[in-house]
Structure 1
Amino acid sequence: MTGSVNEYLQPIGDAMPDWQARPLPQRVVLEGKYCRLEPLDPEAHTKSLLKAWGKAQDGRDWTYLGIGPFASEAQFAEHIVTTAASSDPLHYTIIDNATGHALGTIALMRIDPTNGVMEVGFVTFSPELKRTVQATEAHYLLMKYAFDELGYRRYEWKCDSLNAPSRSAALRLGFRFEGVFRQLLIYKGRTRDTAWFSIIDGEWPLVKEAFEAWLSDANLPAGKQQRTLSSLREELAAQIPRDLL
């Protein structure tokens, strides 16, 4: 944001005379090469999600989430019913295109169409989904939907500041660290400092180009990456004149 000055010579943000509130995200299918995102559907997805989560050795994947772990399959199924009915967060299931299996869920949340801001959250990736091409593509598909189709201007990622894997994932995906909000929440009987990250619309074209280069056949022969997502993004950024960054 470059900013301007008003009649009192006070610095103010750039004018946005043509800005209009953005549409709300919908229960749509987002198609990718390796996976697709479907609106969470208890009848269609619960059995497959249960199978995927059944491969977890323990409950550690739920430590930094406000939900789970679940004491029984019935409790998990009840959670899916409740979650699927929500419009904010709006939950999507990640389906592996090769097998048709549901491997995890992800959500758009804190949706603010007036200001064009939303957050990705409730990232619940089963052991089968973690560190896969499908996991990365799922994030790309949701970002592309937010920026390119809905026209939002800010896309957020927040996590417990102690959740090192989540913080690393945010940076890998192209989010920028903005700081820590101290003692922001109490969850699961403990305090939480929250780390904030974001991507804004001016940064999205470079982030998008890096994703598409990473997902290309040239970079993923037999599904094995040749270049990391971060290195591709850094290379693309180096090609942009400094006065445009």
Structure 2
Amino acid sequence: MSHNRINDLGQPVGLPVGGSFPRPRPPHAPLEGRLVRLEPLTPSHAAGLYEAFAEDTLGRNWTYLPRGPFADLADAEHWAAEAAQSTDPLFFAICTPEGTPLGFCSYLRIDPANGVIEVGNIHFAPRLQKQAAATEAMYLMMSRAFDELGYRRYEWKCDALNTPSRRAAQRLGFKYEGTFRQAVIVKGRNRDTAWFSIIDEEWPTVKARLEAWLAPENFAEDGTQRAALGSLG
């Protein structure tokens, strides 16, 4: 499929964009899945998140995040109070269907005029890591952006040295676009930022693959997957 055309001056230019812009901003409303529920983050989630993250006794999961680990419950409550007031990033608590918080994530760099949105500030407690619920949480965020809000581009960025995050992006269907060198300073350290994206024309294939993997029949009674996500196309 061609992504450009030749104008009357003989120059290659981008194709016209259909649809209406700006797109709606994402609502701060729950996202319901079979395995997980994403709730607008509030200070009431702080205690549960603090408890869940405390299982990471060495703080390894905080290394590439802009802050943390939480020093104590009061620190977690202060962070949650600030995060709850933010509109960009727009934070969600990742909870079990019963309401136990096991992580958080956000939409950020929200650009309705261009139909571009990023997912980031992703932090899974040990109990959520490498679980189908974590994949479903990311699927729900994608689905809202593309299916509900009509965004054209969905981004994932991470420290270029964060190998688990890079692998997660590619497993979910993001395409690597390149690395911005010396992009930011995080915790006093240089960060080269790796960029990944999914665009709207790719979303139907990505969506079908994720839904096939998340389907109940893909999991045995003990919860093990029958087909790996990478084997589904």
Whole-Å Cα distance in 1 between the matches of residues 224 and 32 of structure 2? 21
- Greater shift, 57-66 or 192-201, is seen at 57-66
Whole-Å Cα distance in 1 between the matches of residues 218 and 66 of structure 2? 36
Aligned-pair CA distance for 1:100: 2.6
The one-letter amino acid of 2:29's match is V
Alignment match, 2:96? 96
Counterpart mapping for 1:66-85 below 5 A: 66-85=66-85
Alignment match, 1:11? 12
What secondary structure is seen at the aligned counterpart in 2 of 1:124? strand
Aligned-pair CA distance for 1:197: 0.2
The one-letter amino acid of 2:86's match is S
The one-letter amino acid of 1:128's match is R
Aligned-pair CA distance for 1:70: 2.0
Q: What's the TM-score once normalised by structure 2's chain length?
A: 0.96
Counterpart mapping for 1:14-25 below 5 A: 14-25=15-26
Q: Do the aligned residues in 2 keep the contact of 1:104 with 1:126 (CA within 8 Å)?
A: yes
Alignment match, 2:153? 154
Alignment match, 1:32? 33
Superposed CA offset, 1:95-147 (max 9, x none): 111x4311000000000000000100000111111111110000000000000
Whole-Å Cα distance in 2 between the matches of residues 206 and 54 of structure 1? 37
Superposed CA offset, 1:24-53 (max 9, x none): 00111111000111100112x112112211
Q: Do the aligned residues in 2 keep the contact of 1:154 with 1:200 (CA within 8 Å)?
A: yes
Whole-Å Cα distance in 2 between the matches of residues 13 and 71 of structure 1? 50
Alignment match, 1:177? 176
Aligned-pair CA distance for 1:18: 3.8
What percent of counterpart residues are identical? 52
Alignment match, 2:119? 120
Aligned-pair CA distance for 1:17: 4.9
Where do 4+ consecutive residues of structure 1 move more than 3 Å? Answer: none
Q: Considering only aligned residues, what root-mean-square deviation do their CA atoms show, in Å? A: 1.1
- Greater shift, 125-134 or 47-56, is seen at 47-56
Superposed CA offset, 1:180-215 (max 9, x none): 000111111111100000000000000000111001
Paired residues, number: 231
Whole-Å Cα distance in 1 between the matches of residues 62 and 163 of structure 2? 14
Aligned-pair CA distance for 1:166: 0.4
The one-letter amino acid of 1:230's match is G
Whole-Å Cα distance in 2 between the matches of residues 216 and 205 of structure 1? 16
Whole-Å Cα distance in 1 between the matches of residues 83 and 21 of structure 2? 30
Q: What's the TM-score once normalised by structure 1's chain length?
A: 0.92
Alignment match, 1:211? 210
Whole-Å Cα distance in 1 between the matches of residues 21 and 191 of structure 2? 35
Q: Do the aligned residues in 2 keep the contact of 1:174 with 1:230 (CA within 8 Å)?
A: no
What secondary structure is seen at the aligned counterpart in 1 of 2:176? strand
- Greater shift, 219-228 or 23-32, is seen at 219-228
The one-letter amino acid of 1:185's match is V
What secondary structure is seen at the aligned counterpart in 2 of 1:218? helix
Q: Do the aligned residues in 2 keep the contact of 1:91 with 1:108 (CA within 8 Å)?
A: yes
Whole-Å Cα distance in 1 between the matches of residues 46 and 201 of structure 2? 38
Alignment match, 1:65? 65
What secondary structure is seen at the aligned counterpart in 1 of 2:136? helix
5+ residue gaps in structure 2? none
What secondary structure is seen at the aligned counterpart in 1 of 2:217? coil
5+ residue gaps in structure 1? 235-245
Whole-Å Cα distance in 1 between the matches of residues 153 and 19 of structure 2? 17
Aligned-pair CA distance for 1:216: 0.8
